[in-house]
């Protein structure tokens, strides 16, 4: 399978990428690791007329400890998040989840900015960033803005990102409490049928593949905050969700999985 | 557009359409057909090559993305191999190729180039793996003959573990 023809442009900086997005408008798409976009183009589910390659912007590939958070450049690859000592020390949940993405070859290409921008409800890292209370920094023609992960995802493969904006950085609070991540799938290398992320001792609980976006299990979080047991809180994990149905699972099974996996994650994190 | 890259130590320049996949570029323009195409959907790993030393699935990389990069294919692994794929060494196989031979880690051989490239990249990142880590490290490579047992044995043996 070969993608439809397109023009290929290389952006050397975020500013240049924004300028190119301005020039080509809706015709253009940014290309980071390409491990979501190229498969879609091969299936002709996407056929942008112009690809703007941002993977060569080395300024956007970094992992830094800042004041109370980790700052990770959008072009940082999954493998770098997975193997970084700084991430292991300050946001170990993110390193752990990065290592669960696809297989090593996928992790050698895919980027943190790319997986967030792609906003696939079945993806692991967006859910981890959501549970951890991360912040997404986007740059556009009018400068930078900060978007809380809570407010970032708006629908199936959709986010608040404007067509002329580029994610430049992802910030993850450091020093947060106990965590666990449960990825439930049946074959090596697959996406989660359902996944559950528990961050900061249960203050952040996120669900993978339980709706059109990665979502917080708000009812379970609130129950825990008001003193419910892990088991009682987990029973509420699927409240308000609209799980998808596919060949792997129907909605009832996903609902069941969400409650079981949330209980397992809370118990493994040591949340009583 | 003009795309230059270093393939198995040889500089290669070709005029390619931007939509050309790296695997097609390697097979059809560079002319090295050791890299196979299996699923064409980034699932099977038959097309695995090294891009700047790391395993990638070349069916999911555009040739233009690899311009100005170093590519190693299965033909470039053995010390005696020629970059054009001729005279693939009878001696001086790469230790991983040697281990695949010794451990009977191939049946039809279709997955083998990708397996070997994935396995060598994996051992660079994890030189002393456990058997379980080898299985995890090769999870992106499928063997339709299902000869996983001996493949894992070969990788352990190349790592000096068994
Ligand atoms: C075989 C396979 C298995 C996988 N398994 C998993 C899995 O188990 N779990 C999982 O979570 N993911 C999985 N993935 C997806 C993988 O994590 C992708 O790398 C990731 O979703 C996209 O990142 P990318 O850098 O490749 O983005 P690209 O494919 O380059 O881009 C994706 C989208 O985001 C946009 N974009 C990219 N970067 C930016 C930016 N900085 N600013 C604004 N927009 C941007 C692009 O325009 C495009 O629309 C898998 C992929 C493959 C091929
Ligand atoms: S052909 Fe590339 S992964 Fe199967
Ligand atoms: S040896 Fe036949 S596919 Fe692996």
Model confidence at A118: pLDDT above 60: yes
In degrees, rounded to 5, the angle at the alpha carbon of residue A197 between the alpha carbons of residues A192 and A202 is 160
- The answer to whether A230 and A263 are in contact (CB under 8 A) is yes
pLDDT digits (tens, 9 = 90+) for A176-186: 999 999 999 99
Nearest CA in chain A to B125: A83
Residues B13 and B52 in one domain: yes
Query: Among residues B99, B100, B114, B101, which one has the least CA distance to residue B144?
Result: B114
Ligand 2 in reach of B153 Cβ (< 6 A): no
Is any Cβ of chain A less than 8 angstroms from the Cβ of B60? yes
Q: Please state, in angstroms and rounded to a whole number, the distance separating the CA atoms of residues A217 and A209.
A: 12
Residues B20 and B62 in one domain: yes
Closest residue to B57, CB basis, from A2, A4, A105: A105
In a domain, B65, yes or no: yes
Confidence (pLDDT) at B58? 98
Q: Hey, what are A222's tokens?
A: 């609130």
Average pLDDT over residues A189-206: 96
Residues B31 and B53 in one domain: yes
User: Where is the domain boundary, B23, B51, B77?
Assistant: B77
Residues B25 and B45 in one domain: yes
Average pLDDT over residues B55-70: 98
Question: Does the distance separating the beta carbons of A8 and B140 come in below 8 Å?
Answer: no
User: Where is the domain boundary, B77, B104, B122?
Assistant: B77
Q: Please state, in angstroms and rounded to a whole number, the distance separating the CA atoms of residues B108 and B131.
A: 23
Question: Does the distance separating the beta carbons of B140 and A105 come in below 8 Å?
Answer: yes
Q: Please state, in angstroms and rounded to a whole number, the distance separating the CA atoms of residues A98 and A101.
A: 6
Q: How much is the mean pLDDT over chain B?
A: 93
In degrees, rounded to 5, the angle at the alpha carbon of residue A157 between the alpha carbons of residues A198 and A166 is 90
- Domain hosting B43: range is 2-77
In a domain, B137, yes or no: yes
Residues B107 and B55 in one domain: no
Write down the ipTM of this complex: 0.95
Confidence (pLDDT) at B78? 84
Average pLDDT over residues B117-123: 98
Residues B73 and B102 in one domain: no
Residues B27 and B48 in one domain: yes
In degrees, rounded to 5, the angle at the alpha carbon of residue B25 between the alpha carbons of residues B21 and B28 is 125
In a domain, B31, yes or no: yes
What separation in Å is there between the alpha carbon of B105 and the centre of ligand 3?
9
- The answer to whether A166 and A54 are in contact (CB under 8 A) is yes
- The ligand with the least distance to the CA atom of B151 is 3
When divided into structural domains, chain B yields a total of 2
Residues B63 and B18 in one domain: yes
Residues B22 and B68 in one domain: yes
Helix ranges, chain B (H): 22-24, 95-102, 112-125, 131-137, 148-158
In a domain, B41, yes or no: yes
**How far from A10 is each of A21, A50, A60, A250, B67, CA to CA, in Å?**
12, 10, 14, 43, 11
Ligand 2 in reach of B49 Cβ (< 6 A): no
**CATH code, B18:** 3.10.20.30
Chain B residues whose CB is inside 8 A of the A108 CB are 51, 54-56, 121
Q: Hey, what are B40's tokens?
A: 């064409």
- The answer to whether B32 and B85 are in contact (CB under 8 A) is yes
**CATH code, B136:** 1.10.150.120
Angle between helices B95-102 and B112-125 (to 10 degrees): 120
User: Counting one residue from A and one from B, how many pairs have CB atoms under 8 Å apart?
Assistant: 78
Q: Please state, in angstroms and rounded to a whole number, the distance separating the CA atoms of residues A268 and A235.
A: 16
What separation in Å is there between the alpha carbon of B136 and the centre of ligand 1?
21
Q: Hey, what are B137's tokens?
A: 């490290």
Q: How much is the mean pLDDT over chain A?
A: 97
Q: Hey, what are B153's tokens?
A: 């044995």
3-state helix, strand, coil in chain A (%, to 5): 35, 25, 40
Ligand 1 in reach of A115 Cβ (< 6 A): yes
Confidence (pLDDT) at B49? 98
Residues B26 and B68 in one domain: yes
Residues B149 and B105 in one domain: yes
State the residue for tokens 């996983």: B148
Q: Are strands A135-140 and A143-148 parallel, antiparallel or unpaired?
A: antiparallel
Query: Among residues B131, B3, B45, which one has the least CA distance to residue A105?
Result: B45
Percentage with pLDDT > 70 across chain B? 91
In a domain, B83, yes or no: no
Chain A residues whose CB is inside 8 A of the B61 CB are 34, 38, 109
In a domain, B36, yes or no: yes
Ligand 1 in reach of A117 Cβ (< 6 A): yes
In a domain, B116, yes or no: yes
Residues B11 and B65 in one domain: yes
Query: Among residues A235, A239, A240, which one has the least CA distance to residue A261?
Result: A235
Q: Which of B106, B113, B116, B117 to mutate to test the pocket of ligand 3 (most atoms within 8 A of CB)?
A: B106
Q: DSSP label at A192?
A: P
In degrees, rounded to 5, the angle at the alpha carbon of residue A237 between the alpha carbons of residues A235 and A238 is 105
Judged by DSSP in three states, B83 sits in coil
What separation in Å is there between the alpha carbon of A107 and the centre of ligand 1?
10
In a domain, B82, yes or no: no
User: Where is the domain boundary, B77, B109, B135?
Assistant: B77
Is any Cβ of chain B less than 8 angstroms from the Cβ of A3? yes
């Amino acid at each position: 399978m070969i993608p439809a023809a397109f023009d290929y442009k290389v952006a050397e900086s975020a500013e240049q990428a924004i300028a190119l997005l301005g020039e080509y408008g809706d015709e253009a798409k940014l290309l980071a690791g390409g491990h979501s976009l190229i498969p879609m183009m091969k299936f002709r589910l996407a056929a942008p007329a112009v690809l703007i390659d941002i993977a060569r912007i080395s300024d956007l590939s970094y992992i830094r400890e800042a004041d109370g958070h980790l700052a990770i450049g959008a072009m940082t690859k999954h493998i770098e998040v997975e193997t970084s000592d700084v991430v292991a020390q300050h946001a170990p949940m993110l390193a752990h989840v990065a290592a669960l993405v696809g297989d090593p070859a996928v992790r050698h290409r895919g980027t943190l900015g790319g997986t967030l921008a792609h906003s696939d409800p079945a993806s692991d890292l967006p859910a981890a960033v959501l549970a951890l209370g991360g912040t997404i920094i986007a740059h556009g023609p009018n400068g930078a803005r900060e978007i809380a992960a809570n407010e970032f995802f708006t629908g199936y493969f959709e986010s608040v990102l404007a067509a002329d904006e580029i994610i430049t950085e992802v910030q993850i609070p450091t020093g947060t409490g106990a965590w666990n991540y449960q990825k439930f799938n049946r074959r090596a290398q697959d996406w989660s049928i359902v996944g559950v992320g528990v961050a900061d001792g249960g203050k952040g609980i996120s669900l993978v593949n339980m709706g059109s976006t990665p979502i917080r299990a708000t009812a379970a979080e609130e129950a825990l905050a008001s003193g419910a047991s892990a088991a009682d809180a987990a029973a509420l994990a699927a409240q308000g969700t609209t799980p998808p149905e596919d060949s792997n699972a129907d909605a009832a099974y996903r609902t069941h999985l969400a409650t079981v996996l949330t209980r397992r994650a809370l118990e493994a994190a040591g949340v009583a | 557009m003009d795309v230059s890259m270093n393939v198995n130590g040889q500089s290669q320049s070709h005029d390619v359409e931007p939509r050309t996949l790296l695997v097609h570029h390697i097979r059809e323009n560079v002319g090295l057909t050791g890299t196979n195409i299996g699923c064409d959907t980034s699932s099977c790993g038959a097309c695995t090559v090294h891009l700047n030393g790391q395993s990638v699935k070349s069916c999911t990389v555009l040739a233009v993305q690899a311009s100005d990069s170093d590519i190693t294919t299965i033909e470039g692994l053995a010390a005696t191999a020629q970059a054009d794929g001729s005279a693939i060494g009878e001696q001086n196989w790469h230790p991983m190729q040697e281990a695949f031979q010794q451990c009977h880690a191939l049946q039809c051989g279709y997955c083998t180039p990708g397996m070997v490239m994935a396995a060598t990249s994996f051992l660079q990142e994890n030189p002393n793996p456990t058997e379980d880590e080898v299985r995890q490290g090769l999870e992106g490579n499928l063997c339709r003959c299902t000869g996983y047992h001996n493949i894992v044995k070969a990788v352990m043996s190349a790592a000096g573990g068994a």
